[in-house]
Amino acid sequence: MKTVILCGGRGMRLREYTEAIPKVLVEVGGRPILWHIMKNYAHHGFTDYVLALGYLGDKVKEFFLDDQTWRRRDVRLRTGSAGPPELLGGDGEDWTITFAGTGLDTNTGGRIKRLEQHLDDGDVFFATYGDGVSDVDLHELLEFHRDHGRIATVTVVQPRIGLGVLDVDGGGRVTRFDEKPRFDGWVNGGFFVFDRRVFGYLDDNSDLERETLVQLAGDGQLMAYQHRGFWACMDTYKDNVDLNQRWACGHAPWRVWREGYGA
């Protein structure tokens, strides 16, 4: 089963990093956030990825070619041969990655539509954003999707509000103060499951959030998987600092794989 990861965004609120690299390569704990997302899927046994590239997409290719193919592998080179170097194994990840260019400024739904040719070998596929991490159980998510039989499932979450919330009575007296409470409603957390019928709702520049999901909901074809565990989105510099601090202190709930933090 394939996993689409949307990697094309510019990351305008992370300009400290993203003038030189795409948002998905901004690091958490010394590794790109994209790597963390892929490790999570791989932990659940899903290791076939289709990366929807856009802004600075070649940098994503370079990261994996350098990191996985050369740095972490032994190599035998025959200097008199015109053939490529021979890879001798190592501790790289056992993943299959398709790097697919989907346009510089293409909307999210359009990026998925442009991947249709790479997603023709199964009835369903995962898709998620390249800037969100979570401890969502992907097997439970997939089972939920298969049980309900609709076209699409979105994982919904209740993030904490970044401001203090107060209850105030008619006289101006504060009766309750809650610093950064959990949001009462549900928001789109990514970690989608789609079946192939979704391509009938997409064109080459569809907006997944403002068009496709709205249409699916209107047709009764969108279901919500309610995740009450950890979820975080790296939208800003502050978000990046928070995720790095969590990793450094050993409290990174999205790290569901078993190896040590350096692995």
User: 33-70: per-residue pLDDT in tens?
Assistant: 999 999 999 999 999 999 999 999 999 999 988 755 55
Instruction: Tell me what pLDDT residue 79 has.
Output: 66
What is the C-alpha separation between 175 and 178, in angstroms, rounded? 10
Distance CA 228, CA 239 (A): 20
pLDDT of residue 261: 47
Domains and CATH numbers, the chain: 2-157+185-248 (3.90.550.10)
* pLDDT tens for each residue of 174-197: 777 766 666 678 999 999 999 999
- Contact yes or no for 85/75 (Cβ under 8 A): yes
| 223-226: Cβ within 8 A, 24+ apart | 223/144, 223/145, 223/148, 223/150, 223/152, 223/153, 223/154, 224/153, 224/154, 224/155, 224/156, 224/186, 225/136, 225/140, 225/141, 225/144, 225/145, 225/153, 225/154, 225/155, 225/156, 225/191, 226/156, 226/186
pTM, whole model, 2 decimals? 0.85
